[in-house]
Structure 1
Amino acid sequence: MESEKQDYGKFQWFFFVILIPIIFTVTLVVIILSVAGFDVFGKSKAVLAEIPVIEKLFKDEKQDTINDREIVAQETATQKEAKKQREQTIEEQATMIGALEKDVSMKEKEILTLNQEIKSLETQIEEIKEADLEKNSKDIAKLYDNMSSKKAAEIIPNLNEEDAILILTSLDDRHLADILSKMAVDDAVKYTNLLSSNTQ
């Protein structure tokens, strides 16, 4: 029991008298030197790196750091290459989009020009139709001018209203009056009303 107490007492003595004061002193020195601007940890590393066994640890750590830097550099180079390729792809796509927009603009202009040509052709066709219609009307009017009033009075009521009015409006007043007088009363009244509404 006494030997245990002595062992315990020696351990306590070592702990309180030697170990704690050394730790306290080292901590106080480190704090003072750090406040004074002295790089304690940097110098400690340099001193420890010169010790043969510890030197190997520092070399391994340096090697790991160099390897890490190389890996980071490779990753950065890969990222830069990928970024460059993306930018090049974007640039190519922008050029293609520009060319397509230009094509679309040209096509729109072509469509506009074609639409104008179509309208022009439609107008010309309409004018030709009107000219043909007018010519036909004149030809028909000449035909009915040369026809006897009695014969015309028999034919006109059998035509559709539009054609009948077209023919009647193209005749001179004397011949028109003559044809109407030879028509049946109902037909004469009908065409007189149509002619009067057509002239208004």
Structure 2
Amino acid sequence: MSSEQIQKHKKEGGKLQWFFFVIVIPLLFAITLALIVLTIAGYNVFQISEHIGSKIPVVSNFVGNDEEVLQEENTNLLATIEDQKEQIETLQLDIESKDEEIQELNEQIQQLQNQLEQNEQSQQERDELISNVTESFSQIKAEQAAQIIENLTDESALLILEKLPAEQRGAVLAAMDPEKAAELTQNFINPGE
């Protein structure tokens, strides 16, 4: 670089430095000092500048929208909260109805279990009674047993004949009226026909 270029470069640098030291720095100092004085005096400088800025056409796009956007977002969030509250209430009602349904079903299960236990007890008692009656029939003669069994219902007669040993069953059937013996034998072999 030649000395002329160096001199020219120093002059350009000097003008820029002069601009910062003489204009920019004092201006920034004056603005800062004014903001401090106005704030101490009780003025909200930022609110005033936002109010004035919202009236300027290009600047208003940057200044006033934040509050409107926040209000719109707040409204949307409140609506979402209300929707979710309604959904929660609906789900709680569903849960309550399902709980009631479960409780009713548990009660039905308990009733059915009680009935089953009663049926098992009555079946055991009935089986025990039939065993006792069968034991009694095995103690008497076949002719007397045949006369008694002929006068019973078919169901009762079949239950007793079923419990008797095969030899006694044959002797009782032989002592019965042949038609009644055939009918009982048929029902014994093919129940429900």
**TM-score where L is the length of structure 1:** 0.51
CA positional deviation for 1:110: 1.0
Q: Residue 104 of structure 1 aligns with which residue?
A: 105
Are 1:16 and 2:17 an aligned pair?
Answer: yes
Let me know the Cα RMSD of the aligned residues: 4.4
CA positional deviation for 1:45: 7.1
CA positional deviation for 1:57: 3.5
**TM-score where L is the length of structure 2:** 0.53
Return the letter of the residue paired with 1:110.
Q
Separation in structure 2 between the aligned mates of residue 115 and residue 24 of structure 1, nearest angstrom: 99
Q: Residue 151 of structure 1 aligns with which residue?
A: none
Q: Residue 92 of structure 2 aligns with which residue?
A: 91
Q: Residue 196 of structure 1 aligns with which residue?
A: none
Aligned length: 144
Shift in CA distance, 86/73, structure 1 to aligned 2, threshold 3 Å: same
CA offset digits 1:159-189 (Å, max 9, x no partner): xxx959x9xxxxxxxxxxxxxxxxxxxxxxx
* From 46, 49, 58, the counterpart of 2:48: 46
Q: Residue 70 of structure 2 aligns with which residue?
A: 69
- Give runs of aligned pairs for residues 140-155 of structure 1, distance below 5 A: 140=141
Separation in structure 2 between the aligned mates of residue 134 and residue 68 of structure 1, nearest angstrom: 97
Shift in CA distance, 105/163, structure 1 to aligned 2, threshold 3 Å: closer
Shift in CA distance, 51/9, structure 1 to aligned 2, threshold 3 Å: farther
Q: Residue 118 of structure 1 aligns with which residue?
A: 119
Q: Any gaps of 5 or more consecutive residues in structure 1?
A: 144-161, 167-200
Are 1:133 and 2:134 an aligned pair?
Answer: yes
CA positional deviation for 1:88: 1.4
Shift in CA distance, 61/11, structure 1 to aligned 2, threshold 3 Å: same
* Percent of paired sites with the same residue: 8
Q: Any gaps of 5 or more consecutive residues in structure 2?
A: 145-163, 169-193
CA offset digits 1:125-171 (Å, max 9, x no partner): 1122122212211214897xxxxxxxxxxxxxxxxxx959x9xxxxx
SS, match of residue 56 in structure 2: helix
Separation in structure 2 between the aligned mates of residue 123 and residue 51 of structure 1, nearest angstrom: 97
**Structure showing greater Rg:** 1
